[in-house]
């Protein structure tokens, strides 16, 4: 009887450890980046807080490099022409220790865009986007 009780306790301990180990990374990976909330607002100013000093922005086949302040203006114009209805995060992946990407659907009142955001985590833990692609679907 003691042997069965010991086996059950060890089994529950191992299962508990596995559940805890799997829950922690999943929670960290599932947390949306603050840039997602800025996209949901459709605010160039809010998004600019999460942009690197230089950022590549692509609208369909038109790709250009902008400073952070220029990017804020370009994005504000985009949101003015394409007011946000919703932004849905569809995928979030880490490429390596620093780089990651987000893929989502930006839906305006009359158009839908696939959005790809590439970003890098700095040593201080802050995450900055260095590339934004808006591809009309």
Sheet with 62-67, edge to edge strand ranges: 62-67, 51-59, 127-136, 112-121, 99-108, 84-94
Which residues touch 30 (CB under 8 Å, ≥6 apart)? 92
What class has domain 33-136?
alpha beta
Q: Which two tokens stand for residue 50?
A: 């999460």
pTM: predicted TM-score of the whole model, two decimal places? 0.72
Q: Show me where the domains of the chain are located.
A: 33-136
pLDDT single digits (tens) 71-126: 999 999 999 999 999 999 999 998 888 899 999 999 998 899 999 999 998 777 77
Compute the residue count for the chain: 137
Which element (helix H / strand E) includes 105? strand 99-108
- Determine contact, residues 64/56, Cβ cutoff 8 Å: yes
């Amino acid at each position: 009887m003691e042997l069965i009780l010991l086996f059950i306790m060890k089994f529950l301990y191992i299962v508990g450890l596995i559940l805890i180990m799997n829950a922690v990374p999943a929670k960290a990976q599932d947390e949306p980046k603050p840039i997602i909330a800025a996209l949901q607002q459709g605010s160039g100013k809010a998004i600019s807080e999460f942009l690197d000093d230089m950022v590549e922005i692509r609208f369909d086949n038109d790709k250009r490099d902008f400073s952070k302040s220029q990017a804020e203006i370009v994005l504000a114009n985009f949101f003015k022409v394409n007011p946000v209805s919703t932004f849905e995060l569809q995928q979030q992946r880490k490429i390596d220790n620093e780089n990651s990407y987000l893929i989502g659907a930006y839906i305006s009142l009359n158009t839908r865009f696939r959005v790809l955001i590439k970003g890098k985590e700095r040593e201080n833990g802050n995450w900055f986007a260095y590339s934004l692609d808006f591809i009309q679907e």
